């Protein structure tokens, strides 16, 4: 500051001077973080207001060590959005460096906010066959409160006294296969300890497993005889065809109980000697246990005598009257053993005195003798097993007879001695020189004529029931 006077006639002039200093103004800024409570992965808005702002274009904002320049608006306000990427205390600083030729000195203001871990949880889903030994899939999805999946972390699953450590995939999913070994209620607990960004959790659920159905096969040998030891056996299995080893069962044969234990493969067996013939019942009982329902299974078998049972099963007889007055009769007898023991049996056939016997033809298990005096043909079926014995012979009339000349009568008779119904098909043929004139069959027999042959069928021929076909034919003229 300079003060001067130029002087006049009374005073001389002068100049005097002094000075003063004008200091720069101070300024500051508030800092506000919204929202005040934030979880990792969420955005916060950081803003403030300058006290004195004229001429200030921007401020520096440092968040968690990273500085960025933020513009100041016309009212002295500023703001920015920040995405949290870690948990813990986050420091915020707002600073202005000042300007040497400007109006404001520098300042720095600080605050902080806390970023919390996200809460987490996992669903628990159980699906599959809820039976003992069935395959169950236990799984879920791990996510935070905002539904964001948490991948590549290990969760612990506790079930039935066991712990299964399962790693989530990229979408937070985890699963494993579990096979329950007993029935009842199973509790599932899923636990994760959390990490730097997420809190841990414990979630639980439960499911029920029911018992499996079970049963046993019963194997009985065929052709059971009195006083011959047989082995009755079976395998105990469940619904899934798994064997039930080392369990107690009761096998009842003909009213007598036998207590057995299956082996490791579920197999059981019993030696039994029947003492009488007829139908014998077998029953297998399992009372069940903690894992399997019980069952009762039944069967039966027939006991027969061990003996020979030779029967004359089929008879073929053809009577032929020739124009010359000759008359022939051809017989064929078939024998079968319906027992289960090799044996022999003797048959006797009376030859009419008006006929002469021609040499018979036999299979090797047939022996015969003929007494011309008594006219008895003795046929011995010898050591016949499961095969068939056959004898055939012709008798010729001693004196000519002219009634019914050129007529041929063929009769075939079959008797079913089997203990079951059978299907029997057979044929009766005429000579090429003859023409069939008449056919007779039993009621249970159907037939079809084709050329010089008649084809007969007896369906469902019952035990001791016969089928017979008679074919009449006459010599062509």
For residue 51, pLDDT over 80 is answered with: yes
The pLDDT assigned to 223 comes to 84
Q: 66: which 2 tokens?
A: 């990273």
Q: How far is 203 from 122, CA to CA, in rounded Å? A: 7
The pLDDT assigned to 102 comes to 66
Kindly calculate the radius of gyration of the chain based on its CA atoms and give it in whole angstroms: 57
Q: 460: which 2 tokens?
A: 């469902």
Task: Compute the average pLDDT of residues 57-79.
Answer: 94
The pLDDT assigned to 467 comes to 97
Q: 374: which 2 tokens?
A: 């008594």
Pairing relation of β-strands 445-450 and 136-144?
unpaired
Question: Of the ranges 18-22, 138-142, 456-460, which one carries the lowest mean pLDDT score?
Answer: 18-22
Q: How far is 90 from 429, CA to CA, in rounded Å? A: 115
- Sequence-ordered strand ranges (E) for 325-375: 327-337, 343-350, 355-357, 361-362, 366-371
Q: How far is 27 from 104, CA to CA, in rounded Å? A: 7
SS3 463: coil
**Residues 379/308, Cβ–Cβ less than 8 Å:** no
Q: What is the pTM of this model?
A: 0.48
Question: Of the ranges 82-96, 120-134, 401-415, which one carries the lowest mean pLDDT score?
Answer: 401-415
Q: How far is 251 from 268, CA to CA, in rounded Å? A: 10
Q: What is the DSSP letter of 374?
A: T
**Residues 190/140, Cβ–Cβ less than 8 Å:** yes
Q: How far is 394 from 355, CA to CA, in rounded Å? A: 9
Q: Give first-to-last CA distance, the chain, whole Å.
A: 176
The full set of domains in the chain, from first to last, is 25-116 (2.60.40.10), 120-209 (2.60.40.10), 214-303 (2.60.40.10), 310-397 (2.60.40.1170), 426-476 (no CATH)
Q: In which band, very low, low, confident or very high, does the pLDDT at 64 lie, cut at 50, 70 and 90? A: very high
Helices and strands, counts by H and E, the chain: 0, 40
Task: Compute the average pLDDT of residues 455-469.
Answer: 96
Q: 82: which 2 tokens?
A: 């920040």
The pLDDT assigned to 416 comes to 95
Identify which of 133, 123, 135 has the alpha carbon closest to the alpha carbon of residue 205: 123
Task: Compute the average pLDDT of residues 136-165.
Answer: 94
Please give the torsion angle defined by the CA atoms of residues 455, 460, 466 and 468, in that order, rounded to the nearest 10 degrees: -20
Task: Compute the average pLDDT of residues 394-403.
Answer: 83
The pLDDT assigned to 101 comes to 64
CA distances 278 to 103, 275, 306, 440, 450, Å, are 126, 10, 13, 39, 46
Return mean pLDDT, the chain: 91
Q: How far is 419 from 302, CA to CA, in rounded Å? A: 11
Q: How far is 164 from 158, CA to CA, in rounded Å? A: 6
Q: In which band, very low, low, confident or very high, does the pLDDT at 100 lie, cut at 50, 70 and 90? A: low
Task: Compute the average pLDDT of residues 127-143.
Answer: 92
At which residue do the structure tokens 């996992």 appear? 122
Identify which of 415, 429, 403, 401 has the alpha carbon closest to the alpha carbon of residue 462: 415
For residue 36, pLDDT over 90 is answered with: no
DSSP 382-400: EEE-SSEEEEEEEEEESS-
**Residues 224/300, Cβ–Cβ less than 8 Å:** no
Q: What is the 3-state secondary structure (H, E, C) of 120-158?
A: EEECCEEEECCECCCCEEEEEEEEECCCCECCCCEEEEE
Q: In which band, very low, low, confident or very high, does the pLDDT at 105 lie, cut at 50, 70 and 90? A: confident
The pLDDT assigned to 62 comes to 96
Q: How far is 53 from 77, CA to CA, in rounded Å? A: 9
Task: Compute the average pLDDT of residues 281-291.
Answer: 93
Q: How far is 246 from 124, CA to CA, in rounded Å? A: 36
Per residue in 156-210, pLDDT tens?
Answer: 999 988 999 999 999 999 999 999 988 899 999 999 999 988 999 999 999 999 9
Cis peptide before 35 (omega within 30 of 0): yes
Q: 458: which 2 tokens?
A: 């007896």
Q: How far is 447 from 470, CA to CA, in rounded Å? A: 11
**Residues 262/249, Cβ–Cβ less than 8 Å:** yes
Q: How far is 137 from 311, CA to CA, in rounded Å? A: 67
Q: How far is 232 from 300, CA to CA, in rounded Å? A: 11
SS3 213: coil
Total residues found in the chain within this entry: 477
Identify which of 258, 280, 268, 265 has the alpha carbon closest to the alpha carbon of residue 219: 268
């Amino acid at each position: 500051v300079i003060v001067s006077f130029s002087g006049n006639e009374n005073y001389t002039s002068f100049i005097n001077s002094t000075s003063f200093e004008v200091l720069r103004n101070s300024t500051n800024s508030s800092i506000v973080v919204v929202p005040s409570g934030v979880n990792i992965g969420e955005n916060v808005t950081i803003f403030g207001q300058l006290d004195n702002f004229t001429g200030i274009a921007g401020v520096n904002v440092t968040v968690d060590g990273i500085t960025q320049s933020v513009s100041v608006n016309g009212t002295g306000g500023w703001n920015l959005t920040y995405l949290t990427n870690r948990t813990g205390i986050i420091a915020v600083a707002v600073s202005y460096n000042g300007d040497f030729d400007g109006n404001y000195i520098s300042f720095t203001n600080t605050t902080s906010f806390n970023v919390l871990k996200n809460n987490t949880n996992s669903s628990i889903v159980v699906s599959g066959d809820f039976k003992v030994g069935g395959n169950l899939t236990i799984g879920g999805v791990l996510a935070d409160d905002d539904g964001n999946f948490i991948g590549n972390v290990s969760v612990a699953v506790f079930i039935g006294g066991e712990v299964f450590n399962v790693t989530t995939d990229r979408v937070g999913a985890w699963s494993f296969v579990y096979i329950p070994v007993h029935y009842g209620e199973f509790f599932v607990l899923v636990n994760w300890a959390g990490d730097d960004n997420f809190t841990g959790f414990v979630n639980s659920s439960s499911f029920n497993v029911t018992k499996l159905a079970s049963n046993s096969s019963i194997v009985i040998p065929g052709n059971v005889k009195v006083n011959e030891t047989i082995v009755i056996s079976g395998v105990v299995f469940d619904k899934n065809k798994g064997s039930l080893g080392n369990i107690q069962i009761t096998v009842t044969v003909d009213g007598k109980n036998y207590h057995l234990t299956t082996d490791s493969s579920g197999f059981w067996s019993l030696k039994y000697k029947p003492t009488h013939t007829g139908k014998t019942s077998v029953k297998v009982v399992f009372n069940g246990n903690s894992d399997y329902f019980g069952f009762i299974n039944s069967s039966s078998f027939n006991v027969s005598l061990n003996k020979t049972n030779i029967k004359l099963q089929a008879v073929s007889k053809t009577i032929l009257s020739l124009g010359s007055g000759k008359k022939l009769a051809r017989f064929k007898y078939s024998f079968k053993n319906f027992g289960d023991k090799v044996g022999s049996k003797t048959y006797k056939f009376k030859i009419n005195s008006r006929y002469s016997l021609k040499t018979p033809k036999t299979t090797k298990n047939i022996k015969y003798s003929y007494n011309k005096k008594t006219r008895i043909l003795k046929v011995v079926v010898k050591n016949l097993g499961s095969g068939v014995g056959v004898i055939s012979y012709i008798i010729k009339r001693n004196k000519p007879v002219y009634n019914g000349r050129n007529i041929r009568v063929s009769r075939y008779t079959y008797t079913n001695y089997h203990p079951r119904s059978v299907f029997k098909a057979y044929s009766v043929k005429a000579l090429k020189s003859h023409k069939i004139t008449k056919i007779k069959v039993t009621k249970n027999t159907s037939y079809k004529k084709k050329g010089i042959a008649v084809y007969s069928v007896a369906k469902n021929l019952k035990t001791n029931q016969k089928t017979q076909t008679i074919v009449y034919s006459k010599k062509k003229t």
